[in-house]
Amino acid sequence: MLEHLDTDRWFNKLELKEFPEPKIVHLRHPVLLCHGYGAIASLVKPSPLYDVAMLMRSHNVLAYAPNIVPYAKIEVRARRWVKLINSLTAENGYNKINIIAHSMGGLDIRYALSELNIARKVASVTTISTPHHGTSLAELTLRTPDAIRDKLADFLDWMGDRIYPKTKSDSVGSAEQLTRRYITKEFNNRITDVPGIPYYSYSAAVGKGTDIPIKVISRFQNNHIFEKEGLNDGMVSVKSARWGQHIKTLHLSHLEQMHLRVKDDREPIFLEFWQEVIEMLEEQGH
């Protein structure tokens, strides 16, 4: 039996690294992680991007992942982010912060920078799978028969109001603002980028059209978006996620990006991606 054992491979796993600690990343400014639409992640962890913040802290990066209302229009969510930015900078003496926003959070931050006089406190904006050109998934949701849609909306608003009672939830109103028509015809025509602030973006592709598997529960929406928009991460297409300086297309699903439903063999991809993001900010001098 021992003759079939690959002893070299087994013992190589035991080889000690000289420096086993996580790599130190030096950023000039702390990181605020802004989550997107929905409350699923908040039911299983302190905040949707909490695991990401803890990972960044292990690399010596001051990172914060607060909660805001999970279901609300962009302008409402943006005001909550501004309040948190003002509190964070005032209480800790930060001059500026780097913002990394996931999904709808990227739209919130673009609105806040353009409309809410917060740009002076922001060093950079990085968006991860943000629907900068909308998503056909929102349109599919809104086409659900009224009776079903209303019951689902009532449930989402009920849940949102209980996990974040400070702001009234509006799941339908916020979903309407994620449609391709609203974002491309109204939002993008009105909300302009702030000169002097760099905007970076990452897109993601898994499932249909790739060699990367996607969970069964997400295949329907993945296939739907692929037919309408092409490669996607199960919620947002690669095309829609591109904004400013597009860095790369990663191979994590929308949920995996938040460290939800990540299989053991894909855990290294999650860890490497988020380390890569802060290393990019380090290289850019932020």
Specify the DSSP element, H or E, that contains 202: strand 199-204
- pLDDT for res 241: 98
Give the integer Cα–Cα distance in Å for 232 and 140: 15
Q: Say how many CA atoms lie within 13 Å of 194 toward its Cβ.
A: 20
Domain-embedded: residue 4: no
Q: Identify whether the C-beta of residue 122 lies closer than 8 Å to the C-beta of residue 84.
A: no
pLDDT in tens, 208-223: 999 998 888 889 999 9
Reported pTM:
0.91
In the chain, how many domains are there?
Answer: 1
Give the pLDDT mean for 161-172.
79
Query: Has residue 80 been placed in a domain?
Result: yes
Which structure tokens are listed for 99?
């913002």
**CA–centroid distance for 240 within its chain:** 14
Domain extent for 105: 23-283
What pLDDT does residue 215 have? 85
Residue 246 lies in a domain: yes
Within-domain flag for 12:
no
Question: Where residue 91 sits, what CATH number does that domain have?
Answer: 3.40.50.1820
